[in-house]
Homo-oligomer: A and B are copies of this chain.
Amino acid sequence: MPKKVDHLQRRTLIADALMRVAAERGLEAVSLRHVAAEAGVSAGMVQHYFATKDEMMAFAMAVVRDRGEVRVTAAVTRLGAEPPPRLLIRTFIAALLPLDEQSGDTAKVALAFLAYAAVRPAAAAALRDDTAQLRSFVASLLPGPGADEAAGGLLALMEGLGLYLVSGQYTAEQALAVLDAHLDRLFPG
């Protein structure tokens, strides 16, 4: 199916351009025209693949999510079979946090999307499902009673650290120190 592949490749190329524009100049600079210029294609070409800005944003958001999953899977796979729960949790949270410049750019875009989704209830539904799924998974790895609330707390802490990192308030070292101290409380002894 060469045509279908080509379609997806073009859409991804355009989504990448959207992310570069958003990471450099903020979401308010994202327009069909700017994205087309960044991707080196015509505005008509962008419109051929995405009828509206909302559609383009939704696709780019899915790309960000997919890449996050790929990063997490790669990091967790490197741990080998049956890693201890604490190490597993620490590894995937570190893989999701914007600790380096490249993931920082992605996180800036994710943050911009979140602000965008906050005023568009339909966009928020997909986020809610993702979070609920992640929370159940984390809860299954945490010890003792109260694992569900503790999982919610750990994920909220991860989101907050992501915010601090992406807005330049924390360094990677500071964020990891806070995460490790929190994991010490969740996994005592």
Contacts and interface: CB of A to CB of B under 8 A. Distances in A.
Interface of A: 22-28, 30, 108, 111-112, 114-121, 124, 127-128, 131, 146, 149-150, 152-153, 155-161, 163-164, 166-170, 174, 177-182, 184-186
A124 B26 contact: no
A96 B119 CA distance: 20
B174 A116 contact: no
25 contacts: A27-B27, A27-B28, A27-B115, A111-B111, A111-B114, A111-B118, A112-B118, A117-B167, A124-B167, A124-B168, A131-B169, A146-B184, A149-B180, A150-B181, A150-B185, A152-B174, A152-B177, A152-B178, A153-B178, A156-B156, A156-B159, A156-B160, A156-B178, A159-B160, A185-B185
A169 B116 contact: no
Contacts of A128: 167-169
A149 B185 CA distance: 11
Contacts of A150: 181-182, 185
Contacts of A164: 131, 156, 159
Contact of A166 (B26, B112, B118, B160): B118
